[in-house]
Amino acid sequence: MDTDKDFQDFWQAYKPDEMRFPNRRTATLGQWRTRSRAAQQAMMQYVKDQGAPKWKNPYFFVQDFPEPEPKDYNGARLLPDEPLVIARYNDRAGLYTRREAELFSMDVLKPFKP
């Protein structure tokens, strides 16, 4: 996945005032590159769904955006048509969707068979 292309999409959705702050884009891209893939996708989704906060400089939005956590489905209602795996996240094994395991670069231990 191309994080710089995703940044372009994020930047277009955020719609900052580049005339007032000409260096904001470069600084924000540098900050974007320090964030995890999961955080980048969550930020993109937030801006697409809710729009950019009008009061927030995009650099600080990217910097302050909370790091997302994957959902552990252990003991939870299972999702139909969503492949699950047993994977390790932060040194704990759990039940996650395959998509989240890949997004969070988890160590997949084995597929889950209900």
Measured CA to CA, the distance from residue 46 to residue 23 in angstroms comes to 23
CA 51 to chain centre: 16
Q: Which residues pair with 84 in a beta bridge?
A: 97
Residue 29: predicted pLDDT: 95
DSSP helix, strand, coil percent of the chain (3-state; round to 5): 45, 15, 40
**Position 1 pLDDT exceeds 70:** no
Residue 79: predicted pLDDT: 67
Rounded to an integer, the average pLDDT of 55-74 is: 90
The pLDDT tens digits for 15-49 are 888 887 788 999 999 999 999 999 999 999 999 99
Nearest to 14 by CA among 52, 46, 63: 52
Buried (b) or exposed (e) across 62-94, using 16+ Cβ within 10 A? beebeebebeebeeeeeeeeeebbbbebeeeeb
**Position 72 pLDDT exceeds 90:** no
